[in-house]
Chains A and B, each alone.
Chain A
Amino acid sequence: MAQQEMGYQDDNDGQERSLSEWQQELQTPFPRRPEWAGASVETSYAGPDLLYDPGYASHSARTLRHGDYTRRSAPLIDQVSNGWRNSEKTAGFYAAEPEDHDLRLCDLEDEGSCPNTTADLVRSRRFRRMLAVVLVAAVVLYYSWRWYLQPRLQEEWDLKQGFMPARSNGTYGIARAGHFEGTAIKWLDPELVPGGEGDSKGNRRLVFVGDIHGCKKELLHLLEKVGFDAKTDHLIATGDTVSKGPDNVGVLDELIRLKADSVRGNHEDRLLEAAKTLLGTNLPPESAAATSQGYAKDAKLLRELKPKHMRYLRDMPLMLRIPALPHASASRRKDKDRVHENIIVVHAGVVPHVPLEKQDPYFVMNMRSIDDRTHLPSALRETKKGKSRPWMEIWNWYNDRLFRGRSLKGFHLYSADEYEEEQLAESQGWLGSLWDGVFGTGKAKMKPQVVVYGHDSKAGLQMHRWSKGLDSGCVAGGKLTAMVLDAKGKTEIVQVGCKNYKT
């Protein structure tokens, strides 16, 4: 409404005029009304310039001031002139508009435009310093991920995958596998446990010895060095007490005399199997040419052994278990010199997570490595085709996990009982499992165990938190090792040198 009062060109919007001026305006007569020819008429309008005609304007102002819209007033379009066509655009038309920032940003000539400011920024020293710091940090972060963090995470993942059914189709420990003739699992006589019921003062000791292989002199030397006292100490051999060495019968006699325990090793296994066909027959011995050198040597040894030796060999169990020592001090995660948990003594090794009853006897007496994915053991250090690792690596990883109370959810199951336990654990809901995942379950259903073994002379003495390998290659000129365990759970390693008996 204010536009129509005094015309567009007037800066004065008409509201600051004096009263007299207003009166003068209102009293002038209305001029000749222009013919309204309609919208199709050209804009060259012959009539009075409505914008500049004060009379018309005031009339319309008068009428409009009353708030009516009157048809007699022309459409607004008629008031638009084309004078703008004639006016020249000024040179800095666009630049003169201060609100139009977007159009100004990319002009390279202007000081404040975007490319110029960026260039200034880049050239500035402070910015370059900052950039250098960021780049160095990025490089450090990247390589530390690639060389340090990522391999560790990958390793952890790979180790875990071997236990999961998701990746593999079945696993070791499900099939029936071989069978063992004799006692498979034997618990140590409770009277002999240090600190146990027969030893309230905690004086007893257990002496574990690696592969003796008929080295009687070295064995006696070692027992002397350990200070072996038959009244308080008990000797436990890790198998392979005979074969290869100079005095096999002597070693057996000594072990029988000391009432020592031993687990069955692969050489004892061979002897016992051969005995089934060779003993009790009067057939002439088969030559090495018809059989093999090993077989011929076994046959020769069998002829020297007496029934009491055969009985002793047959009595050797596959695995010997020793309960956790009652007086042992508290467990620590990384302490290699103490044993507080249950001990399993075997000749070569055991596969983690598989129940002891399901372990194949041949592998328990011969394994050196296990397959990454299926956990199938092998007597070789590295299988020719599959990917294998030393079995004690995985054993230690697994028992460390048990020690920390980490969950075994998703791991393979071997019996209906385990399956029911898992179902029970799952039913506790997500909050319970979250709690367990963060803080660890208070009560571990499965307890970690320490394995004492022999068999691997090339690897030598292997002392880890959860596995103790005691075969230091005595018969080949290495050492004969003993691990002495006292009632407090402390272990001590004693070694003697050996002569080379390998021909």
Chain B
Amino acid sequence: MHLPLGLLACFPVVVHSIIGIPTHPPLEPLPRRDAPVLGVGSRSHRRHQNAYPDEPDKYFHEADFDRHYDGRFANKRLSYDERRKHLTALMQTYLSTMNDIGAETWIMHGSLLGWWWNRKILPWDSDIDAMVSEKSIHHLADYYNMTVHHYQLPGLDEGRDYMLEVNPHYINDSMESANKIDARWIDTDTGLYIDITTLRRNRTAEARGVEGAMMVKDNHHYMYDDIFPLRESKFEGCPVNVPFAYSEVLIEEYREGALSQTVFAGHRFEPETQEWIPLRHAVQQNKLLPPGP
């Protein structure tokens, strides 16, 4: 996968350094592990990790105040506008990194729906969903686990650190209720993250004769021909891949309403500007424009 030139337009000033410790996937049944808290270098002193007593094998832990934040790095829930800004930056840095690494990734679920509507993250979405292929996750796990990537984004005085963390349970192909997410791309400043899942071959279905069946550990099922060959497009101003049969995948998951309803989740879609306007903003005439940079 060669690097598209358009990507450089996203990041006029980028300082990129990798500090990483390569890990080897364990061969024996996995010893019980949690996402490490010490040594990840966080600014806040108080940890908000929400350990689940009823799911002892769960690797990733969310914050106790909001499950869309990583408790090791977050200390408060962000406001609506702040969250949107940081999620956009999260997406852009993730795509840039995956491109550099050469990992095959594409957007799914809520992010794909946002792509369908206006090529942007849906404003009420609190996280981003991305998928990688099996080869990619092995590559990331082998060489990029626990790596921290420093980005200097335009509009921010200081740089930010983003961490790529791979769940050691990724090598387990079967469904697991506790470890559905295979990797995370975490903003160490705010605690926001991208859930990365792997599209695997559905070996049980293939054994039964269903050809081209694929599955994900969070209990989604697809056909190979619906995802591949991937299409190239733009999302939040950056080059991205989307599944081949994007609309079918969306309708399968969200039903027809999600692709046609213009009033949803307290927002209204404005056809002229192609933006989702929060309903409270639409009422106040002076706030129709999206928040400035």
Contact = CB atoms under 8 A, between A and B. Distances in A.
B interface SS class: mixed
A168 to B, nearest CB: 7
A329 to B, nearest CB: 40
B262 to A, nearest CB: 3
Interface string A364-401: 00100001011110110001011000000000000000
B247 A360 contact: yes
A379 B256 contact: no
Interface stretch (B71-79, B179-187, B225-233): B225-233
B260 A170 contact: yes
B224 A174 contact: no
A114 B273 CA distance: 78
A416 B273 CA distance: 11
Contact of A383 (B229, B231, B256): B256
Contacts of A375: 260
B65 interface: no
A273 B243 CA distance: 11
A273 B229 contact: yes
B173 interface: no
Which of B1, B118, B262, B274 gathers the greatest number of chain A CB atoms within 10 Å? B262
Interface residues of A, number: 37
Which of B116, B232, B256 gathers the greatest number of chain A CB atoms within 10 Å? B256
Contacts of A276: 229, 232
Contact of B257 (A175, A176, A270, A374): A374
A72 interface: no
B255 interface: yes
Interface string B16-32: 00000000000000000
A169 B259 contact: no
B53 interface: no
Given A174-B269, A294-B212, A273 B230 contact: yes
Nearest to B211: A293
A414 B262 CA distance: 13
A391 to B, nearest CB: 14
Given A270-B229, A273-B229, A176 B259 contact: no
B262 A376 contact: no
B251 A376 contact: yes
A293 B255 CA distance: 28
A177 B262 contact: no
Nearest to B263: A169
A316 B252 CA distance: 29
B271 interface: yes
Nearest to B260: A374
Contact of B271 (A174, A294, A362, A379): A174
Interface in A150-208: 168-172, 174-179
Interface in B256-281: 256-257, 259-264, 269, 271-272, 274
A295 interface: yes
A171 B233 contact: no
Interface residues of B, number: 35
A373 B116 CA distance: 20
Contacts of A383: 251, 256
A273 B244 contact: yes
Which of B211, B229, B257 gathers the greatest number of chain A CB atoms within 10 Å? B229
Contact of A378 (B1, B251, B274): B251
A168 B260 CA distance: 9
A178 B223 CA distance: 20
B262 A169 contact: yes
A402 B145 CA distance: 61
Nearest to A269: B244
B150 interface: no
Contacts of A379: 245, 248
A110 B285 CA distance: 84
Nearest to A362: B247
A132 interface: no
A295 B251 contact: no
B117 interface: yes
A81 interface: no
B116 A177 contact: yes
B224 A295 contact: yes
B229 A176 contact: no
A329 B263 CA distance: 47
B135 to A, nearest CB: 9
A376 B272 CA distance: 20
A175 B269 contact: yes
Contact of A376 (B117, B212, B260, B269): B260
B119 interface: yes
Contacts of B231: 178, 273
A169 B260 CA distance: 7
Interface string B189-227: 000000000000000000000011000000000011100
Contacts of B223: 292
A414 B274 CA distance: 12
Interface of A: 168-172, 174-179, 270, 273-274, 276-277, 291-295, 360, 362-363, 366, 371, 373-376, 378-379, 383, 385-386, 414, 416
5 contacts: A169-B261, A178-B231, A270-B229, A362-B247, A386-B256
Interface of B: 1, 116-119, 211-212, 223-225, 228-233, 244-248, 251, 255-257, 259-264, 269, 271-272, 274
Given A174-B269, A177-B247, A291-B224, 5 more contacts: A169-B257, A169-B260, A172-B259, A176-B117, A374-B257
List the 8 closest A-B pairs by CB distance, nearest first.
Answer: A170-B262, A292-B212, A292-B224, A374-B260, A273-B229, A274-B229, A376-B256, A170-B261
